[in-house]
A = this chain, B = another copy of it.
């Protein structure tokens, strides 16, 4: 069977992924190494994600701010441990001018006294903001968020999954007590989980990271892990309890009720444009993207099928009537998003255009539909792209159900990846080695005690890593058991997998 995307998932998963992105026109590679241009369809999905999450973040009392793109080198140095961990690979601004060289070409001029770094995260700047704003316990908690572009000079990049520049949301909070800050980190993790599962149809396992995988400077790092169609885990977001580490390096103190100076406890948390990569790798098929209805920029597309010029007016008028009718209906967070494709292109081109973009419902409207007061439609999740015919009234009455069903089916199908069959508990070393020797092994659960060396060995031998200690055991296994690598020790249930 011919598919719209070539190669297919089973032929070459990484290549398939890139092709889906191109076919859906989500993004394209930019002329700057490791960067991408996010095209209208991809950006519209990001805007949906932004709008929903921003409302959720604000509903939890956070205020948005905007910090500078550039950070002085001396600021970066102050955060020694932090920078040691991840941000050494970053873009450095050294000049503030271009001038014509003798050969007529432009060259950098006006060298800066102090180099500036494009933000790899804004912890250091937010630290200063907090230090200035926070004087008394009356000023706490401070709950802030920022939507921004971020730059980390990645060596191996892949669109949406890992790019040198990416877009994200970074939340930063300061509290009087450890408990409050720690709870807040978990609170935001839960907010992300609900968002991923409810809106993106993306089931996730949440939990604590192993010491090795902890965010530099954090006391605890929590993660959301999704399992993609190729069985690899993808970290979809993180939330950190930072203890008083940042408070100390940025000198964020407050006067408590007894007029004693105290350091605040902080948290930070973020998700990025990577969510779109996760969406693609979870739901797309060999015909292209599949958008869960709640996040789809267009939920229903109407394609006029005009065989004779004299029918055009009637068909377009009928499409507009259907559009108006549907736009009255409310699904999830607002009115239905309905588009009529009146471009001057062949119907079959249009059909595949919208299949590849993953629009949940596609209607084809010709003279038969006009005269019969019918709607011919196909659901994107029906991979045969089979058309059904409904009377207009029936379609109008059922359309919300079609969308809900699509949303639910996508979620359930993705959830299979988290069944005991796909995510077995392994209590024997040989079984584990055999499991991870296969070509695209599913994740597994093991009893694990933090051990840097064994973790490194596993990474080298099987390219697997400890993804997290799941917060809630999804299969009712015991939370603790004999550690797989040292039976004298008690291990904690851990998710282990290949990962992006």
A392 CB–B CB distance under 8 Å: no
Contact: A69 with B116, CB < 8 Å? no
A88 to chain B, nearest CB (A): 5
A68 CB–B CB distance under 8 Å: yes
Cβ proximity bits A81-111 to B, threshold 8 Å, 1 near / 0 not = 0010001111111111111000001111010
Contact: A138 with B35, CB < 8 Å? no
> A116-133: which have CB < 8 Å to B?
116-118, 125, 128-129, 132
Chain B residue nearest to A117 in the complex (CB): B98
A39 to B71, CA, bound (A): 17
Chain B residue nearest to A88 in the complex (CB): B98
A62 to chain B, nearest CB (A): 9
A89 to B83, CA, bound (A): 29
A31 to B68, CA, bound (A): 9
Chain B residue nearest to A273 in the complex (CB): B66
Contact: A76 with B98, CB < 8 Å? yes
A129 to B37, CA, bound (A): 8
Could you tell me how many residues of chain A have their Cβ less than 8 Å away from some Cβ of chain B? 66
Which one of A5-13, A40-48, A311-319 contacts B? A40-48
Q: Looking at A88, A110, A343, which has the most chain B CB atoms within 10 Å of its CB?
A: A88
A70 CB–B CB distance under 8 Å: yes
A88 to B109, CA, bound (A): 10
Contact: A69 with B153, CB < 8 Å? no
A residues whose Cβ falls under 8 Å from a Cβ of B: 28, 30-32, 35-40, 43-44, 46-47, 63-73, 75-77, 83, 87-99, 105-108, 110, 115-118, 125, 128-129, 132, 138, 144, 148-149, 151, 153, 165, 167, 343-345
Beyond A91-B93, A97-B153, 17 additional contacts (C-beta under 8 Å) are A31-B72, A31-B75, A32-B71, A32-B72, A35-B70, A39-B129, A44-B63, A69-B149, A69-B151, A88-B99, A89-B96, A90-B98, A91-B116, A92-B98, A94-B95, A107-B115, A110-B153
